Amino acid sequence: MKLASRPFAIPAQRRNSHLLHLRLPPGRAWVIKGLMFLAFAALGLRALWIQGITTGFYQRQGDLRFVRTIELPALRGRILDRNGNILASSIPVKTIWADPQTLHADPRQVDELASILQLDPRQLQQRFALDRQFVYVKRQVEVDVARKVEALHIKGVYLSPSYRRYYPEGAAAAQLLGFTDIENQGRGGLELQFQHMLAGHPGTRKVMQDRLGNVIEDVEGGTPPVNGADVQLTIDSKIQDLAYQALKQAVQDSHAKNGSAVVMAANGQVLAMANYPSFDPNKRSGYTNADMRNYALTDIYEPGSVMKPFTIAAALQDHVITMHSIFHTAPGCMMMYGNRICDDSNNGTIGLPQVIEYSSNVATGQIVMRMKPQEQWDMYTAVGFGQRPQVPFPGSSSGRLRPWKSWRPIDAVTQGFGYGLAVSTFQLAHAYLLFADDGKLPAATLLENAPPTPAVRLVSPEVAADIRSMLALVTTPTGTAPRAQVPGYATGGKTGTAYIWKGNAYDHHDFRAQFAGMVPINHPRLVMAVSVDQPQGARHFGGQIAAPVFSQVMAQALRILGVPPDLPVTPDVAPAGQLQAGAAG
């Protein structure tokens, strides 16, 4: 059945309402229309003001509430040895931080977090109570530990990527390499010296976060980080460890205050620079300022008899003496300019080679008395004494060498055998290159890719060879350092046992034991200087304390560098009969 359609019916009571038949006066209608127009116009102008003219202000306000700029740390450059082995690198770690305003953690979670990070729960709770949007919980946290923190799922606690410096060699090269602070900025040694190269530039990442701090999306405007550059040194990590271990043993065995050692190739490259006591740069506590000192470059001392080869070289070069000169030293002491100069024993009448072999102060003083002070001073300054080393290292010392015009006659004499001036162990090792390179002094360098600098000739090849022949006598059984011998290699060098100045006089109970030498002596490949400060006991001479360090290091370093022996080596093999007897026993 089809129903007839009819229009929607309005009830009668509503059809008769007076509101449906109300007619406004014409004037009032225009007022209402005008007010409505003004209202919509105001809304339009407001929208134009907000979305057009002042949109930057409101955008910034929104960004302050929801957009965050996250710093992307740059990877600090590595420090490498001459063979590409890593001496310092950056390993990934995590930074734990919190937003106290969005933090939701019950006391049990706070205790667990403090336990994982090894923090005081009360101090951690106080940090969480601060009226801030950002507080550090702990920085440079290992990744495994950070995973445990993440597993707690604490609202308002976040993890950010970071880096921490790691030094594989530990204490062996600590003072040379230096260390970085919590901000990964160099604070000592080569880390500080090459900060501009190693640091790089951090980047930024802009993200939008919700009210709980969760990242929703990336926002345009971030910049990628620029990683730091690597720095490659001339250091050989194996020789560095050898020098450190031998020096450490010598200092400990002699109960000395400290020690330093420098190994250099004949071309001026620094292969090792060791100091003891030292510290572990991988740990940021438990060491003192004394432990962090690079004694080889920063500390200076009166060198004693290791200066004599330079005095004699200057005299030979200026033809003041010859290899056939004779010196009368009996009875072992002599008055010079009103001062008593003595040897350790009465050497009698000796030739020039024996001046070095026996380390005669009396004969050296006689040589100096024949020289002009300026000739002596010219030699000392030419090899670098009194001048800051040209290797890049913060705080390296220039030593002490007064202008020759201010010398008294006795000053020239005492400086001739190492008193009255001061040098560093590095300066000493570098200066001995003069005799290793046939009278030319090469520039010292710590950087593997440093531009070559031509060596400067200071003495003739003949004079350099004469000095080497005298240095070779020192390591013979009749010399002052037979313990500097290296099996299979001809060695040479000079000992020094200097009194230490205390107050207003030299203390004849405290010494500095030193040795500087080269090997193989006829065609030197390596030069090493060793200095041990204030060894205790009857064994305190340079030939007893410092020379064995030279022997131990050189024996292994020459093999590492593949230098063939220049002397016959007696095989250390027992006869067959002894082997059988030993086995039977």
134, part of any domain:
yes
pLDDT of residue 209: 62
Residue 81 tokens, joined: 């040895």
d(CA 425, CA 403): 22
How far out from the chain centre does Cα 427 lie? 18
pLDDT at site 67: 62
Q: What sign results for the dihedral spanned by CA atoms 123, 128, 129, 135?
A: positive
Distance CA(536)–CA(16), nearest Å, equals 124
Cβ pair 271, 557 in contact under 8 A: yes
* pLDDT at res. 210: 61
Q: What is the predicted pLDDT for the residue at 581?
A: 32
The runs of H, that is alpha helices, within 118-163 are: 121-128, 143-151
User: What does each of the 585 residues of the chain score in pLDDT, given as a tens digit?
Assistant: 455 555 556 566 666 666 666 666 777 777 887 888 888 888 888 888 777 777 767 666 655 556 666 677 789 999 999 999 999 999 999 999 888 888 888 889 889 999 999 999 888 888 888 888 788 999 999 999 999 998 998 888 988 888 899 999 999 999 999 999 888 899 899 999 999 999 988 887 766 666 555 655 566 667 888 899 999 999 999 999 999 999 999 999 999 999 999 999 999 999 999 999 999 999 877 788 888 899 999 999 999 999 999 999 999 999 999 999 999 999 999 999 999 999 989 999 999 999 999 999 999 999 999 999 999 999 999 999 999 998 999 999 999 999 999 999 999 999 999 999 999 999 999 999 999 999 999 999 999 998 888 999 999 999 999 999 999 999 999 999 999 999 999 999 999 999 998 888 888 889 999 999 999 999 999 999 999 999 998 888 999 999 999 999 999 999 999 999 988 866 544 444 433 333 333
Q: Hunting for tokens 């809304």 — which residue is that?
A: 43
Q: Is there a contact between 555 and 517 (Cβ–Cβ < 8 Å)? A: no
Do residue 343 and residue 449 come from a single domain? yes
Is 17 a residue of the active site?
no
In this structure, what CATH number is given to the domain that contains residue 443?
A: 3.40.710.10
In a domain, residue 573? The reply is no
Which residue shows structure tokens 């405290």? Answer: 510
d(CA 187, CA 181) in angstroms, rounded, equals 6
Residues 411 and 496 occupy one common structural domain: yes
| Residue 34 resides in a domain | no
Task: Tell me, yes or no, whether 79 and 116 share the same domain.
Answer: yes
Return the pLDDT at 66.
61
| Residue linked to tokens 């790691």 | 166
What is d(CA 8, CA 474) in angstroms, rounded to the nearest whole number? 129
CATH number at residue 205: 3.90.1310.10
- Determine the residue type at 99: D
- The two tokens of residue 189 are 């040694």
pLDDT of residue 220: 66
Q: How many Cβ atoms are within 10 Å of 331's Cβ, its own excluded?
A: 11
For residues 93 and 415, give the distance between their C-alpha atoms in angstroms, rounded to a whole number: 54
DSSP class of 137: E
Calculate the alpha carbon distances from 375 to 194, 380, 439 in Å: 38, 9, 16
β-bridge pairing 505-519 and 258-265: unpaired
Sequence-separated (6 or more) residues with CB below 8 Å from residue 503: none
Last residue of a domain, one of 204, 232, 260: 232
Q: How far apart are the first and last CA of the chain?
A: 129
H-state helical runs in 137-236: 143-151, 174-177, 189-193, 195-198
The residue among 194, 212, 232 that closes a domain is 232
Neighbours of 319 (CB within 10 A): 7
Which single residue is written with the structure tokens 């001339």?
234
Both 390 and 461 in a single domain?
yes
Query: Do 251 and 170 fall within a single domain?
Result: no
Which residues, 6 or more positions from 33, have their beta carbon under 8 angstroms from its beta carbon?
A: none
Given 237, 305, 360, 424, which residue is catalytic?
305
In a domain, 180, yes or no: yes
pLDDT score for 576: 43
pLDDT at 64: 56
**Whether 539 contacts 254, CB under 8 Å:** yes
Q: Which pLDDT score, from 0 to 100, does residue 61 have?
A: 62
Q: Where are the beta strands (DSSP E) in 312-465?
A: 326-328, 333-336, 339-342, 349-351, 440-441, 456-457
332 with 242, same domain: the answer is: yes
**What are the Cα distances from residue 54, in Å, to 59, 208, 264?**
9, 21, 68
- Judge if the upstream peptide bond of residue 331 is cis by omega within 30 degrees of 0: yes
In angstroms, the CA 257 to CA 556 distance is: 26
Q: What is the pLDDT of residue 125?
A: 87
Task: Give the C-alpha separation, 435 to 424, whole Å.
Answer: 18
Do 375 and 408 have their domain in common?
A: yes
Residues belonging to the chain: 585
Residue 410 lies inside a defined structural domain of this protein = yes
Cβ-in-10-Å burial (0-12, 13-18, 19+) of 366 comes to buried
Which residues make Cβ contacts (< 8 Å) with residue 140, sequence separation at least 6? 93, 95, 162, 164, 182
Residue 41: inside a domain: no
Tokens of 231: 């720095």
CB-CB contact of 473 with 303 (8 Å) = no
For residue 398, count other CB atoms closer than 10 A to its CB: 16
CA atoms within 13 A on the CB side of 285: 0
Query: Domain range spanning residue 393?
Result: 237-560
Residue 369 contacts residue 417 (beta carbons within 8 Å)? no
Number of domains the chain contains: 2
Same-domain pairing of 180 and 161: yes
> Quick one: 193 and 335 in the same domain?
no
Distances (CA, A) of 310 to 403, 428, 451, 474, 511: 17, 11, 28, 15, 22
Both tokens assigned to 141: 């946290």
> Of 197, 212, 232, which closes a domain?
232
Asked whether residue 201 is assigned to any structural domain, the reply reads yes
State whether 87 and 190 are in the same domain: yes
Three-state secondary structure along 210-226?
CCCCCEEEEEEEEECCE
Query: Is residue 576 in some structural domain?
Result: no
Which own/partner contact pairs does 281-286 have at CB distance under 8 Å and 24+ positions apart? 281/165, 281/167, 281/170, 281/171, 281/174, 281/177, 281/178, 281/179, 282/166, 282/167, 282/170, 284/179, 284/182
Nearest-angstrom CA–CA distance, 526 and 273: 13
Is 212 in the same domain as 279? no
Which parts of 363-474 are beta strand (E)? 440-441, 456-457
Q: State whether 434 and 494 are in the same domain.
A: yes
